[in-house]
Amino acid sequence: MKLTVTFFAFCLISTVAFSQIPRDSLDLWLKSDTGVLFTSNRVSGWSDLSGHHRDAEVSSAVRPELVPNQLNGFPVLRFNGADITMQTKPFRSFSGKRGSVFIVFRLNGPSYTSGGGVSTLISTYFGKGITWQFCASPDLYIYYDGVGSEGLPLAAIKTKAWEVATITRTSDTTFDLYRRGEIRVNYRVSNNQPDSNVLRIASNGRLEVLNGDIAEIILYGRTLSKEEIQEVNAYLLGRYNIALPEAPKNYNWVYFLTAVFAITLIAIVSTRYFAQRKLRKKIREFEEQERLNRERQRISREMHDDIGAGLTQIILMSESAKHKKTEEGTRELEDIAATSRRLVSSMSEIIWSLNPENKTLGQLFAYMREQLNRQLEYSGINYDLQFPENNDSVILRNEQRRNLLLVTREIVNNAIKYSGAGSLSVKARVEDQKIFIRVEDDGRGFDTGLVSGGNGLRNIRHRVEELGGRLDISAEPGKGCRISFSVPL
């Protein structure tokens, strides 16, 4: 028959009144043998003995188990490390960025909801979705302050062994950690303050659920003095008959020298490591600066060679047109207009290649298709453009985008001007971390031995080699021409 057990208010008041702990600023007090509401050993609630009625309730579908006679005759609340958690009513813990917490617990194994097997003892929230929490694993205590975590290595926290852990905030940015009443470490935390919120017990909400037992939790809204901390720990250690930590052993000179040697070796290795890392960082910065300098030189060279030369040509043609007859002047004005359009197109290409938003291979293929369509639309040549889709994950440098575009356009432009072809195809593909582009026509072809030194092919070859690529030309008189090149990504 199911039985629901609730300890009456008289029992609660008398327990607090005759307790052996300070009452000033006592914010929360939960004891496994007093005020636990359960049915058939399944806990539904946990009454707060501090007088503030900040009772804890089960906030999961599965309820903790009340296991009798687990800690020297006392019952404990058992959490399974998977899907059991509790939380108190909302209150402002650690008011004024000061407070002290005492927890009697033991680990029964690694948490099943944490990759590192870490179990949460208590946690609360400040801001939006950021938590500070106090955790334990078989190797260390862990405190997470909402910004970063601090691992506090201690002597091994044995599984199935009971512990009394104390954390007390001594300043805006420091905590002291005690283990079984002995101070172990002082560590820094972020200067933050929890909001008025629930205090979660045995989890941080859903993750790092405690795989273990809790016998008692005491929380104060102020920093207790060292004497008071010793008083509360003495009460807990005496109540549950938990042994103090073993006294430090006296190590002989062999262990001492071994430790000194190990520390010296670690210091040497660490110094070397950080020095090498600093050197590698400087090398990366130098290489990045060199890359930027090369990019500036490339842009300056293109502006000078292409735009500068074109503007000079326009000036000379304009001066010449002023002294020519109407028909000759009109022809030169048409040349000026054609040159101006070429310069505008060239400037547009430079601006496009420098725009950081146009950085993917997919965007380059789309722009290249648009430019080649403009080139070939009124050329009288039947053409076929084939570019692969879905390459937006491949990021290109400015130099890669610019040279790939110019090489392809130059090859197509030469075919339009000199090949006399009836059809032309441009095909691109991406394989084995390389871009392959092939331009093929059925025109009159040419003898590669006679034109290999021309400026056009020399410029094409130079741009491909700048990208670490390879250029292949296959052509014979009367049999058309095929030019292909590959560039590593």
Asked whether residue 146 is domain-assigned, the answer is yes
Which residue(s) pair with 26 in the sheet?
Answer: 220
Task: Note down the domain range covering 401.
Answer: 358-489
347 assigned to some structural domain: no
**Which of the residue ranges 59-73, 138-152, 336-350 would you say has the lowest mean pLDDT?**
336-350
Share of the chain above pLDDT 70, in %: 77
Report pLDDT digits (tens) over 390-431.
777 888 887 888 888 889 988 998 888 888 889 999 999 999
Question: Which residue in the block uniquely carries the two structure tokens 């927890």?
Answer: 103
Q: Is 46 a domain residue?
A: yes
Which of 137, 156, 164, 167 is closest to 242 using CA atoms? Answer: 164
Across 350-360, average pLDDT: 69
Q: Which of 190, 223, 240 is at the close of a domain?
A: 240
Q: Residue 356 above 50 pLDDT?
A: yes
Tell me whether residue 226 is in a domain.
yes
Is residue 115 in a domain? Answer: yes
pLDDT in tens, 255-270: 778 888 889 989 998 8
pLDDT of 295: 66
Name which of 62-66, 186-190, 306-310 the model is least confident about: 306-310
The amino acid at residue 275 is A
Question: How many domains are there within the chain?
Answer: 2
Q: How far apart are CA 231 and CA 234, in angstroms?
A: 5
User: Would you state the pLDDT for residue 155?
Assistant: 60
pLDDT of residue 313: 58
Q: Which of 240, 256, 274 is the endpoint of a domain?
A: 240
Q: What is the pLDDT of residues 150-167, one digit of tens each?
A: 777 666 666 778 889 999
- 298 vs 465, which has greater pLDDT? 465
Give the CATH number for residue 143: 2.60.120.200
**Within this chain, do residues 73 and 207 fall inside the same structural domain, yes or no?**
yes
Q: Report the distance separating Cα 222 and Cα 140, nearest Å.
A: 25
Q: Is the pLDDT of residue 362 over 60?
A: yes
What confidence tier does 6 reach under pLDDT thresholds 50, 70, 90? Answer: very low
> What CATH number did the domain enclosing 426 receive?
3.30.565.10
Lowest mean pLDDT among 115-129, 208-222, 312-326, 360-374: 312-326
Q: What is the mean pLDDT of residues 351-372?
A: 79
Kindly state whether residues 231 and 376 are assigned to the same domain: no
Interacting residues of 358 by C-beta distance below 8 A, sequence separation 6+: 352, 364, 367, 401
344 vs 435 pLDDT, higher one: 435
**Residue 26 main-chain phi, psi, to 5 deg:** -70, 115
105-130: per-residue pLDDT in tens?
999 988 998 878 889 999 888 666 66
**pLDDT level of residue 332 (50, 70, 90 thresholds):** low
pLDDT of residue 451 exceeding 80, the answer is no
Question: Residue 247 falls within a domain, yes or no?
Answer: no
Instruction: Output 345 or 216, whichever has higher pLDDT.
Output: 216
State mean pLDDT over 221-242.
Answer: 91
* Residue 287 reports pLDDT greater than 80: no
Cα gap 12→320, rounded to integer Å: 108
* Of 113-127, 286-300, 375-389, minimum mean pLDDT range: 286-300
Mean pLDDT of 281-298: 74
| Domain's final residue, options 240, 255, 282 | 240
Which is nearest to 123 in space by CA: 113, 133, 114?
A: 133
Q: Which of residues 457 and 29 earns the better pLDDT score?
A: 29
Give the model's pLDDT for residue 413: 85
Whole-number pLDDT of residue 7: 38
Query: Which one is predicted more confidently, 60 or 26?
Result: 26
